[in-house]
Amino acid sequence: MRGRYSATFLLLATTLAGCAPNALPSRSDSAQTGTAAQSTAPKSIAFAIQTEPKVLVTSLGLGNQPNSAGDVQGAVHRKLATLDDRGAIHPQLAADLPAQERGTWTVRADGRMQTTYALRRDVTWHDGVRLTSRDFAFALTVTTDPELPLSRGKVSQFIERMETPDDFTIVIDWSQTYPFANAIVDDDLGPLPAHLLEDTYRTDKERFTQLPYWNREFVGVGPYRVADWELGSFMLLKAYDGFYSGRPRIDTVTVKFILSGPTAVANLLSGALDGAVPATLDFQQATFVKDEWERAGLKPSLIPQSVHWRTMAVQFRPDLAVPRDLLDVRVRRALLHAIDRKAIVDTVFEGNAPISDHTTSDRRLTCSPRPAGAGAAMGSG
The secondary structure of 105-118, three-state, reads: EEECCCCCEEEEEE
Tell me the mean pLDDT in the region 123-131: 98
Q: Judging by DSSP bridges, how do beta strands 275-276 and 44-49 pair with one another?
A: parallel
The tens digit of pLDDT for each residue in 23-62 reads 333 344 444 444 444 557 889 999 999 888 888 876 555 4
The CATH H-level (homologous superfamily) assignment of domain 58-206 is Dipeptide-binding Protein; Domain 1 (3.90.76.10)
Q: What DSSP state is assigned to residue 27?
A: G
> How sure is the predictor about 381, in pLDDT bands with cuts at 50, 70 and 90?
very low
* pTM: predicted TM-score of the whole model, two decimal places: 0.77
* Cβ–Cβ under 8 Å, residues 10 and 353: no
What is the percentage of the chain residues whose pLDDT exceeds 70? 78
What is the pLDDT at residue 208? 93
- 226, β-bridge pairs: 237
Determine the Cα–Cα distance for residues 84 and 212; give it in Å rounded to an integer: 31
Determine the 3-state secondary structure of 82 from DSSP. strand
What is the pLDDT at residue 23? 33
**Cα 125 to the center of its chain, rounded Å:** 21
Determine the Cα–Cα distance for residues 279 and 285; give it in Å rounded to an integer: 11
Residue 10 has pLDDT above 90, yes or no: no
Which residue has better confidence, 67 or 209? 209
* Cβ–Cβ under 8 Å, residues 138 and 122: no
Mean of the per-residue pLDDT values for the chain?
A: 81
Residue 335 has pLDDT above 60, yes or no: yes
Length of the chain equals 381
> Which stretches of 180-231 are assigned E, i.e. beta strand?
224-230
What is the pLDDT at residue 308? 64
Tell me the mean pLDDT in the region 223-245: 96
Q: Find the angle CA(137)-CA(143)-CA(149) to the nearest 5 degrees.
A: 150
Residue 235 has pLDDT above 90, yes or no: yes
Domain boundaries along the sequence of the chain: 2-49+249-304, 58-206, 313-379
Determine the Cα–Cα distance for residues 344 and 239; give it in Å rounded to an integer: 41
Residue closest to 252 by CA, chosen among 235, 268, 271: 235
Under the phi-then-psi rule, with left for phi > 0, alpha for psi from -120 to 50, and beta for the rest, what region is 351? left
> How sure is the predictor about 305, in pLDDT bands with cuts at 50, 70 and 90?
low
- 311, β-bridge pairs: 2
- Within 13 Å of residue 62, how many CA atoms lie on the same side as its CB? 22
